[in-house]
Structures are given as structure tokens and as C-alpha cells.
Structure 1
Amino acid sequence: MFVEFLRKNNVMAGVLAIIRVYLGYAWLTSGWGKVTGGFDATGFIQGAIGKATGEHPAVQGWWAAFLESVALPGSGVFSFLVAYGEVLVGIALILGLFTNFAALMGIIMNFAFVLSGTVSTNGQMILLTFFILVAGYNAGRFGLDRYVIPFLRSRFGKQQRVNGEVVTEV
């Protein structure tokens, strides 16, 4: 019942638009600061690896192993992906363009930060992003998704033959 409300209600679409723009602004400003400030993730990654030791580690061993063997050697790539990923997620959420994909990429980054031992606003962002993901198309109804998604569905939707006639499923 609540999921149906999130997915179909026009008032909820407006509330989701406000949440979406708020999250987009948070991502955009954070990413822009990294892009213009010469962000380097090496220190963050090393700090997260350091939090995997002790009696009550903040970072799980499996995640620290991933950071040490994959992220740290590729810290230049990860720095680029985080900085520009945050900017792109922010722009997409503000515009309501490919909202669900942007929200998915944002929540993945949030979980990566949480797994690395950083709390900050990530928990709040995960919760708000969860509502956007559950709402599906309705989260981007008051955005560019209102025009882009129907166009893509009509252009690339699943086609099948019904009584000899080609029908595009939307």
C-alpha cells in the first residue's frame, strides 16, 4: 500500500522532487568541491584501511582487503570516479534525468563511504535515496524523466506481435 502510494501519488511526486533536488544539491556541491580542489582519495583510503584494526574495527576486514588490493593501487582512478560521479549524480538528480540510475549510483557511493568507516550524512542520504528508488518513475515525474522515459520506451520498448500487428510494450 505504501509502495503504491510512493509510485502513483502526484503529491508524493512533488515531495520526492524536493527530496531529489536536496540530494542532488548535496552530491553536486560535494563533487564540485572535489573536482575544483584537486581531490585525492589516497589519504581517505589509507585511513579506512587503518580503521580495520583494533578491538572494535570500524571497517570490516573484507572491505579493507578490497581497499588495500584494488582501491589503493588505483587511487587515481577512484579519485576521478568519486569526484565526477558525485557531480553527475547531483546534476541528474536535480534535473530529474535518469533519476533511478542516478539514485542507484548515489546509494552505492554512500554505502562505500559507510563501509569505509565514514558516517557523516551518509545514513540520511541512504534513507532518502531508498524512497526515490522505491518510488521508481514517480520520483522523476517532475523532472526531465517525464519526457525522456516515455520517449525511450516508445523508441526502444519491447516489441511483440499481437494478432499479426507489431505492438510496442511501454
Structure 2
Amino acid sequence: MLNNFLRTNKIAAAVLAVIRVYIGVTWLKAGIGKLTGGFEVQGFLQGAISQAAGEHPAVQGWWAAFLEGFALPNHTLFAQLVMWGEILAGIALILGLFTTAAAFGGILMNFAFLFSGTVSTNPQMVILTVFILAAGINAGRYGLDHWIVPFMQKRLPHIRKGQLAHT
């Protein structure tokens, strides 16, 4: 019942648009702050790795191993991915453009930050993003997806109308 409401109701779409823009602004501000503030991820990664030790580790061992073995040696790449990921997810969510994909990318970043021992606003953003993902295309009804989705349906015949249709 809730799922149907989120996926089809115009009032739900309006509420989701407000949530979507709020999350988008949050991501955009974080990304621009990193872009203009000389963001460096190496210290953050080392701090997260160090939190995997002790009696009550804040970071799980498998995640610390990934950070130490892959992310830390490629910290410059990860800094760019985080910064531009936040900026692009923010812009897309604000505009309602590829809303579901932007929300999915955002929630992946939230979980990466949570796995790394950073709480901040991430749990709140995860909860709100779950509603956007559950709503699917209705979350972008009052955004650019309203025009982009029908355009894509006409131009990409392999996409069935039922998968992306507005109701």
C-alpha cells in the first residue's frame, strides 16, 4: 500500500520533490565545499583504517582492508570521485534528472562514509533516500525526469514503457 502510494500519488511526488531537493542541496554543498576547500582524502582514509583496531572497532575489518589495499593507494582518484560524485548527485537530485540513479549513487556514498566510521548526516540521508528509491520514477515527476523519461522511451525502443512510465 505504501509502495503504491509512493510510486503513483501526485501528493507523494510533491513531498518527495521537497525531500529530493533537500538531499540534493546537502550533496551539492558538501561537494562544492570539497572543490573549493582543497579536499584531501588521504587523512580521512588513514583515520578510518585506524578505527578498525581495538576491542570495539568502528570500522569493519573487510572495509578497512579495502580502504588500505585499494582506496589509500589511489587516494587522489577517490578524492575526485567523492567530490564530483557529491556535486553531480546534488545537481541531478535538485533538477529531478535521472533521479533514481542519482539517489542510488548518493546512498552508496552515504554507506561508504558510514562504513568508514563517519556518522554525521549520513543516517538521515539514507532514510530519506530510501523513500526516493522506493518511489522510483514518481520521485522525479516534478523535475526534468517528467520530460526526459518519455523522450528516452521514444528514442530507446528496447526500454519497455511499463518500466519507466509515468502514471
Q: Which bin holds the TM-score, normalised by the shorter protein?
A: over 0.9
Aligned ranges 1:62-73 → 2 under 5 Å: 62-73=62-73
**Corresponding residue for 1:51?**
51
1:147 is aligned to: 147
User: Which residue of the partner structure matches residue 17 of structure 1?
Assistant: 17
Q: Unaligned 5+ residue runs, structure 1? A: 160-168
Q: Which amino acid aligns with 1:16?
A: L
Shift, 1:153, TM fit = 1.0
| 1:38 Cα offset (Å) | 1.2
Written as runs of structure 1 = structure 2, the 5 A alignment for 1:11-160 is 11-158=11-158
**Deviations 1:44-103 (CA, angstroms, capped at 9, x unpaired):** 000000000000000000000000000000000000000011000000000000000000
Opposite residue 91 of structure 1, the aligned amino acid is I
Partner SS, residue 118 of structure 2: coil
Residue segments in structure 2 that go unaligned for 5+ positions in a row: 162-167
Q: TM-score, normalised by structure 1?
A: 0.93
How far apart are the structure 1 equivalents of 2:59 and 2:22? 28
Q: Distance in 1 between matches of 2:157 and 2:11?
A: 28
Inter-partner Cα distance in structure 1 for 2:140 and 2:157: 19
CA distance in 2: counterparts of 1:138 and 1:31, whole angstroms? 26
Which amino acid is the alignment partner of residue 102 of structure 1?
A: A
CA distance in 2, matches of 1:57, 1:157: 50
Take 1:77 and 1:158, find their aligned partners in 2: how far apart are those partners? 34
Q: Equivalent residue of 2:73, what SS?
A: coil
Larger Rg: 1
TM-score by length of 2: 0.95
SS at match of 1:158: coil
Provide runs of 4+ in structure 1 moved above 6 Å. none
SS in 2 for 1:157: coil
RMSD, aligned CA: 0.8
Taking only the aligned residue pairs, the percentage that are identical comes to: 61
